[in-house]
Amino acid sequence: LTPSESPELSGRLNNLGIALQTRYERLGGLNDLERCIQSYRQALDQSTLELATSTQLYSNLGLALTTRYYRTGALVDLQQAIQAHETAIAQTPEGSTALPDYLINLGLGLSVQYERTKSLADLERTIRALEKSLKLISPTSTNLPTLLNMLGIAWRYRFERSGKVADLERSIEVLKEAIQKTPPDSPRLLMAMTNLSGGLRFRFHVTKTLQDLKQGIEVLQKALERTEPTSPDWPVRLNNLGSAMKDLYQHSGKPADLKKAIQCYRQAAESSLNVATSGSLNTAATWGNWAFERQSWDEAVEAYHFARRAADQLVQIQLVRRSKEIWLQDVQGLADRSAYVLAKVGDYKEAALALEQGSARLLADALGRDRADLERLKESSHPELVEEYHQAVGRWRELLLKEQHPRPGTLSDAQLTEALQSTRAELDGVIANIRQVPGYERFLEPPTFEDLSKAARNQPLVYITSTTAGGLALLLHPGSPVTVNPVWLPSLSNRSLREILGDYFDTYNQWKVDPGNRSLRDTWFASLDRTTRWLWDAVMEPLSAVLEPYFEVSLIPVGFLGLLPLHAAWTEDSEAPSGRRYALDARTYIYAPNARSLHTARAIASRLEADTILAVDNPQPVTASSLPNSRREVQAAISTFSKSQTFRQEEATREAVLTALKDYHVLHFSCHGYANLTRPLTGGLVMAHDEPLSLQDLLNLQLTDTKLAVLSACETGMPGTELPDEVVSLPTGLLQAGAASVVASSWSVADISTMMLMFRFYHLWRKEGLQPSEALRKAQIWLRNTTNEEKAVFFKDYLVTLPDSQAPADAVDSFIRSLATPSIQTSDFAHPFHWAAFKYVGG
């Protein structure tokens, strides 16, 4: 054994790491790779380390971390790999013979990162590093073929971005040179052959020259024949061959080519699941989508099964939210297609489970972790595990906050990553111990059908989704057992949904820029009418027949459907006061991100009273206009509670409101709000001095007593569009924080109609004793159907019952006079714009 103080120890640890990495490349044993990384890091910790050895170690560590990223998909490994390569280059003087190799390694890390992020900056940095290496490298260097191979890939990526055939020709030219310069017995030759095959296939797509495709298949088959089935490269080459055979089948139509393509995809998806998880996801999704196009439903079920398993592993292994979100971008729509094909083969329960597992994963994970039911564990033989779990979760949440809000003088990025990894390992260990206790074997495991059935035990639950082939609703009927019925929605295709949303948001955004423009307002109103009319034909009419027996239904609209007001879908009805029959006329619709969050929300609601309220009233000063009816609205709300606190205007600072939120059962925000569809975590509510109370702020809260949050502001219910399956929005943020239910808006609402709606809502809930969800529905119908005169009578009777301090006489008179228009026998608020924006989310 080498003494720890020996100057030779770091070199020997480096050699051990190299040997372990070489064996991993041959045999694929993950333990070898883990020990390799450990050896490099241990060597870097030696106090006697020389600069030259340190530089080499950083480079080797970067390569090993990149290799582990390929294996597991952990983005933190890739980020640390790039940092290690940058350190190696920074420590290397210009003119060093080692510099070209270190530039190659940096180019590799950046290239892999580009594959993940598709950031043009990453691609340009990749090419710069590799081109610089090409200028410096010796013509006799053994690494020249590797450099040429990587440069060929980078030029192909450039072609994919630019569409310039010259970039593709450059890629093929460089890859052919790489093959010429690679010794015939070198494993690197197979990599160059694989990449050349890909380039030829790309050129086939451009030129339609069949010879390119056939030559690419021939080259790839030769590479595959020389690849060990245990090698991490085996599934990669199988996947590429599957894609090439798919192209050949689409040209030839020969069953043998189809069979070969499916065989390659199947083997690649299965063999890569535990050695290159990201590759398994890519293979299985490509295969599944192709089977979906051919309506080969059983085959698609098999392929998507692999894809879902890989997606679960990739998301689960990430440490922080933004890393999870990067992988989640790749799986948007996977749950929709999986559910559709499962329903096609008659497996309706598994179809519902696919949608549940793919909807709002981050919310479900957080609720499961933070709201875990450990009561029975306290009475078990291991009650100490309860405290261990809560402590580990507390440390984990604290580190996540530090990662989101780094401060100078605290942990460095490397220290924070190490702390996150060790705390995650500690938490995983406690979870594993809890699973050893009888009754907790499935603690925090992925959901089963039984888990989602809990949300439908006493009330029907409907998942609604769209695909390229059409839409599907899955109705979970209450009872024991819960049963599932499909409702096919042929008009709800992704294409039709995109067209509707395009018109909807184009007209909406134009009106938002100039809300005083009558023409733009009318155009937006007409678009809202078209959208909600289409929703009736495409979704709600087919559902209505099967929902006939039910008076309250929970809806889980998946993906972009969550942007639309399903409850406001309508059809013509001459007997209705407005000439229209709307979906909410028949029953109450409650929205939910997924079944697990709905079940959790109901459990929270069942143990809470609604005796106290915190209100935020028209925060000032803000850039946006003041809300003239805000005070009346807030007065109506707080007058129905025995205990209240109100932050008015300058008092409504972000810090003051955040501090007080946790102490009240009901939260009412009468203020300005905004949504950021592409960066939803930055959307939120506007507090005094234009301080944002953002979605990110809400995600960091821990609310224990909040039964209902009413977000009486603009766009408070609009989810982000970058990850539509995740339903990232203010309501989901509040549900994650611990609120039982949320009332939120789907567009920029009008001050006066919102005030009237909220008056009526609190009256029906607090005075007449209706459930909040039903009170909102009836308030919306009332606002829509009653005449201006009927509204004036209601408010005159209602406002005068309030104490003068809450409703000054001149304010009451002024408001009632505003309703006494010449059209007093009509309703100025019948259009869905005025009443349909708000929806009820949660329990």
What's the rounded Cα separation, in Å, for the pair 647 and 600? 30
pLDDT of residue 230: 84
Domains of the chain by residue range: 1-137, 373-434, 449-588, 608-786+827-842
pLDDT at 309 over 90: yes
pLDDT of residue 812: 52
pLDDT of residue 808: 44
- Per cent of the chain over pLDDT 70 is 96
Answer whether 75's CB lies under 8 Å from 83's CB. no
Average pLDDT over residues 676-691: 91
Average pLDDT over residues 417-426: 88
Long-range CB contact pairs, 479-482, < 8 A, 24+: 481/453, 482/453, 482/456, 482/457
Q: Are strands 838-842 and 588-591 parallel, antiparallel or unpaired?
A: parallel
Name the pLDDT band for 475 (thresholds 50, 70, 90).
very high
Calculate the CA dihedral of residues 356, 358, 360, 361 and round it to 10 degrees.
100
SS3 content of the chain, % helix, strand, coil (to 5): 65, 10, 30
Answer whether 206's CB lies under 8 Å from 168's CB. yes
Answer whether 756's CB lies under 8 Å from 764's CB. no
Closest C-alpha to 493, from 422, 560, 568, 402: 560
- Say whether domain 449-588 belongs to CATH 3.30.70: no
For the ranges 118-122, 305-309, 757-761, 812-816, which has the lowest average pLDDT?
812-816
| Architecture of the domain made up of 1-137 | Alpha Horseshoe (1.25)
What's the rounded Cα separation, in Å, for the pair 145 and 186? 10
Which tokens belong to 418?
A: 């190490």
pLDDT of residue 801: 67
- Residues found in the chain: 843
Cis peptide before 621 (omega within 30 of 0): yes
Average pLDDT over residues 528-540: 98
pLDDT of residue 8: 83
1-137 and 608-786+827-842, same CATH topology? no
Residue at token pair 């005094």 = 688
Closest C-alpha to 730, from 692, 756, 765, 759: 692
Name the pLDDT band for 806 (thresholds 50, 70, 90).
low
pLDDT of residue 639: 92
Average pLDDT over residues 226-235: 89
B/e letters for 117-135, b = 16+ CB within 10 Å, e = fewer, are eeeeebbebbbebbeebbe
Please name the residues in contact with 184: beta carbons below 8 A apart, sequence gap of 6 or more: none
Which tokens belong to 179?
A: 């093959």
Answer whether 710's CB lies under 8 Å from 637's CB. yes
Please name the residues in contact with 391: beta carbons below 8 A apart, sequence gap of 6 or more: none
For the ranges 42-56, 96-110, 111-125, 648-662, which has the lowest average pLDDT?
42-56
pLDDT of residue 822: 57
What is the per-residue pLDDT across 760-779, written as a single tens digit (0 to 9) for each? 999 999 999 999 999 999 99
Alpha helices in 664-727 (DSSP H): 695-699
What is the per-residue pLDDT across 48-77, written as a single tens digit (0 to 9) for each? 778 888 999 999 999 999 999 988 888 999
What's the rounded Cα separation, in Å, for the pair 630 and 623? 16
Residue at token pair 């007997």 = 575
414 alpha-carbon distance from chain centroid = 26
Helices (H) and strands (E) in the chain, counts: 35, 16
Name the pLDDT band for 793 (thresholds 50, 70, 90).
confident
What's the rounded Cα separation, in Å, for the pair 151 and 156? 9
- Per cent of the chain over pLDDT 90 is 72
pLDDT of residue 804: 52
Average pLDDT over residues 647-654: 96
Residue 502, helix vs strand vs coil: helix
Mapping DSSP onto H, E and C, the string for 102-160 reads HHHHHHHHHHHHHHHHCCHHHHHHHHHHHHHHHHHCCCCCCCHHHHHHHHHHHHHHHHH
pLDDT of residue 410: 74
- In CATH, the number for domain 608-786+827-842 is 3.40.50.1460
What's the rounded Cα separation, in Å, for the pair 543 and 62? 55
Q: What is the greatest pairwise CA distance in the chain?
A: 98
Calculate the CA dihedral of residues 616, 617, 618, 622 and round it to 10 degrees.
-40
What's the rounded Cα separation, in Å, for the pair 426 and 103? 37
Mean of pLDDT over the chain: 92
What is the per-residue pLDDT across 171-196, written as a single tens digit (0 to 9) for each? 999 999 999 999 998 888 999 999 99
Average pLDDT over residues 7-30: 88
Average pLDDT over residues 828-838: 96
Say how many CA atoms lie within 13 Å of 744 toward its Cβ: 29
What's the rounded Cα separation, in Å, for the pair 109 and 833? 51
Between the CA of residue 163 and those of 91, 156, 172, 475, 800, what are the distances in Å? 38, 10, 15, 45, 70
598 alpha-carbon distance from chain centroid = 18
Name the pLDDT band for 800 (thresholds 50, 70, 90).
low
| pTM metric for this prediction | 0.88
First to last CA, the chain: 63
Closest C-alpha to 784, from 472, 616, 576, 595: 576
pLDDT of residue 322: 82
Please name the residues in contact with 251: beta carbons below 8 A apart, sequence gap of 6 or more: 210, 213
Residue 178: what residue type?
A: A
What's the rounded Cα separation, in Å, for the pair 514 and 519? 10
Residue 833, helix vs strand vs coil: helix
pLDDT of residue 51: 83
For the ranges 33-42, 62-71, 272-281, 470-479, which has the lowest average pLDDT?
272-281
